[in-house]
Amino acid sequence: MTSTASHPVPAPASSPGPSASTTSTRVLATSMAAVSVAGIVAGVLLTAGMSVPFSEWLFLAACAVLPSVGLLIALRRSDNPYGWLLLAAACCLGLGLLGVGILTTYGDGSGPLAVAAVLLTSALPVFYGLNWVFVPLIFPDGRLPSPRWRPVAWIAVVAIFLHWLGILLSPDEVYAFLPYGNPLGLEGMAGLLAALVGGFGQLAAFLVSLSVLVSLVLRARRGPRTERRLLRWMALGVAAGLSGSVLTVILEQVGQIGQGGHALSWLGVMTAMAALPVVITTAVFRHNLLDIRVGIRGSRLFLIFDLRPTVDELLTELGPGLEEVEPVKQLGRLAEAVRAGLETRWAAVALADGTRVVAGREDGEAVLTVPAGLGHIACGPKVVGRLNAEDRRLLGSLAVPIGLAIQSAGLAARLVNAQEAERRRIERNIHDGAQQQLVALIAGLELARATGGGPDSLTLLREQARQTLADLRELAAGIHPSVLSQGGLAEAVEERCSRLPVATTVTVDPALRSRRFPDEVEGAVYFTVSEAIANALKHADASRIEARLAWSGGRLRAAVSDDGRGFERDGSGHGGLGALADRMAALGGGLDVSSTPGEGTLVSAWVPVPD
C-alpha cells in the first residue's frame, strides 16, 4: 500500500466565463430582487407621503431583508428551490405594498389605475401563504420533510388561491386596505360568497401553518443533531410571525384605541414581516445555512461572504490544471478539492489496489466514505461543525469525475506494469537467446583462430551466425516488425500468418490496403492479432485459425478465431490479453474474448478511427 500527500490546488491562470444558463439565472434572481425592493420602497413612500416617519423606515428595512437573503441564496445555490421561494414571496410582498400605496394615494374606486392597484394588492395573500406555509415547510434544504407532506402542500396551494380570489372579488367593506372601493368586487350574494371563500382560504392557510409549526417543533426535538438548532430558530420565527399576524388582525377588527393600540398594531406588522427573514438571515450568518458563510478577512475587518464553491465551480477551476498532470497527480488535486470544498481536516482518494492519495493530515477514522468508480473517497471530520446533507450531496456529485480519474489512474498503472513486464521479457529473451548464441559464436571464432580451423568449422560458425541473425530479427519483429512500418497493418498481419504451422485464413477489408492509420493504432491491433494467434498455437491445440480485419462505421476491427479446445470463462478478465485490452482502452477502444469448451475461441478488438 502506498500513500502520498497532495499539494494545495493552484489557482488556474484563467477560467472560462460563466455559461449562458448561469448568466440567465443571475439576471432572473437580480431582477426578482429588484422588483421586490422597488415595490416595497415605492409602496412605503406612497403610503407615508413626503414625510416618512422613522417607524416606516424601520418597516421598509425589515421588508427588504427578505429579497436580500433570497437573492444571496439564489445566486449561490441556484439549484436549491429555497432561494427562489424567498424571492417569489418577496416579489409578492413588493407588488402588494405597491398596490396598497397606489390605492392610498391615487385610488378613487374606478378606472384602470384602481383595477391595476387591486390586482397588485391581491399579491399580499400569496405572500402571506408562502411566508406562513412554504418558507418554513421546506426549510432548510428546499425539500418537503417527507412524502406525507405532499397532500398538505397541495391543500396549502388551494387555500392560498382561495384567499387570493376572495381578496380580488370581495366587496369594498370586507377589507380595510381598499379605502376607495374595489372595482372588481362583486355585489349581493356573489360578493358574500367571495368574502366567505376568501375567509375560508385564509383560515385554511393559517391552520396549515399551525401544523407546519407543530412539525418544526417535533423535528427540532427528534431530527438530526446538525439540523436541530436551525429548526428551533425556524419554529421560533414561525411562532413570532403568526402571533404578529393574529395580533394585527385582532386590532384591525376591534379598532385601534389610543396610542397604545397604534404601537401594538405596528409591532404586530413588524413581527409578521420580519420574523422569518431575520431567522433565515441568522441561519446563514451563524449556522452556515446551505454552506453560505460569513467571516472576517484581515485586520481591517472587512465583512465578506465566504461561499463554498459548487461542483461546477470546482470542476471549472480544476479543469485546466487536471489536463496538464499525470493521472495520479490528478487524484491528488481532486482530493485537495474535496478537502477544501467540504472544509474537512483531510480527504483521501483510494484505488482498488489499495493506493491512497491523501490531502491534509490523515488523523483518525473517516467520517464519510462514498464509492467513486473502482475506488472510493474518504473524508475526515470538518474543521468546524459536522458534515451535513449538503456536504453529502456535494461529495456525491464529485464522485463521478473522481471515479473517472480513478479509472484513468488504474489504467495508467496497468499500462506502466505491462510496459515493464514487456521490457523484462525482451531482456530475458535477449539474455537466454541471442546473447548466449553470440557468446558461443565468439568462443567458436576464438577457437578457430587458435587452431586454424578448416572449412567445416567455418561453415558451422557461419550457420551459427545466420541463426543468431534470424533470432534477432524474430525478436525485433516482436517489438515492432519492419513490415508493419513499411507495408501497413494488412500486410503485416498477412506476413505474420504466412509462417504458421497450421492452416490459416486472413480476410482483409479492401479499403484497408490503401489506408494507413496512426502508429499507435496499427501497433495495438497488430500485437492483439499476434498475441491471439500465439495463444491459439500454444494453448488451444488449434488446427485452423482465421484472422479478419475490417474498417467501417468509424471503427477499425480485428478478430481472430480458432477451432481449438476452448475454455470456460471464469470472469477473471482477458487473461494474457489483459495488457493489450488496456492498450485498446487507452485508445478509446475495447477487447472481448468469447470461448466455449470444445468449440474454439474468438478474440475481437476494435479501436475508433475516423472514416
Query: What is the grid cell recorded at 107?
Result: 385610488
Q: Please provide the DSSP assignment of 35-79 as one string.
A: HHHHHHHHHHHHHH-SS--HHHHHHHHHHHHHHHHHHHHHHH-TT
Query: Residue 200: what pLDDT?
Result: 92
The Cα–Cα gap between 33 and 4 comes to 48
Distance CA 63, CA 43 (A): 11
Identify the residue with better confidence: 434 or 460: 460
For the ranges 315-324, 346-355, 458-467, the one whose mean pLDDT is highest: 346-355
Tell whether domain 324-415 is in CATH 3.40.50.720: no
When mean pLDDT is compared over 204-218, 221-235, 412-426, 518-532, the highest value belongs to: 204-218
pTM, two decimal places? 0.50
Q: What is the pLDDT of residues 497-508, one digit of tens each?
A: 886 778 889 999
pLDDT at 493: 87
The reported pLDDT for the residue numbered 298 is 38
Strand bridging mode 3-5 / 375-379 = unpaired
Q: Which CATH architecture has domain 27-303?
A: Up-down Bundle (1.20)
Secondary structure (3-state) at 151: helix
- Residues spanned by CATH 3.30.450.40 within the chain? 324-415
**Is pLDDT at 337 greater than 50 in this prediction?**
yes
CATH 3.30.70.20, applies to 488-608: no
- Helical (H) or strand (E) element with 520: helix 519-538
Domain with CATH 1.20.1070 in the chain: 27-303
Top-ranked range on mean pLDDT: pick from 110-124, 167-181, 293-307: 110-124
Q: Cβ contacts of residue 557 below 8 Å, gap of 6+?
A: 548, 549, 550, 551, 604, 605, 606
Digit-coded pLDDT (tens) for 469-482: 666 666 555 556 66
Question: Smallest Cα–Cα separation from 166: which of 135, 138, 200?
Answer: 200
Instruction: Work out the angle between the directed axes of helices 327-342 and 389-429 (0-180°, nearest 10).
Output: 170
* CATH 3.30.565.10 domain span(s) along the chain: 488-608
- pLDDT bin (cut points 50, 70, 90) of residue 368 is confident
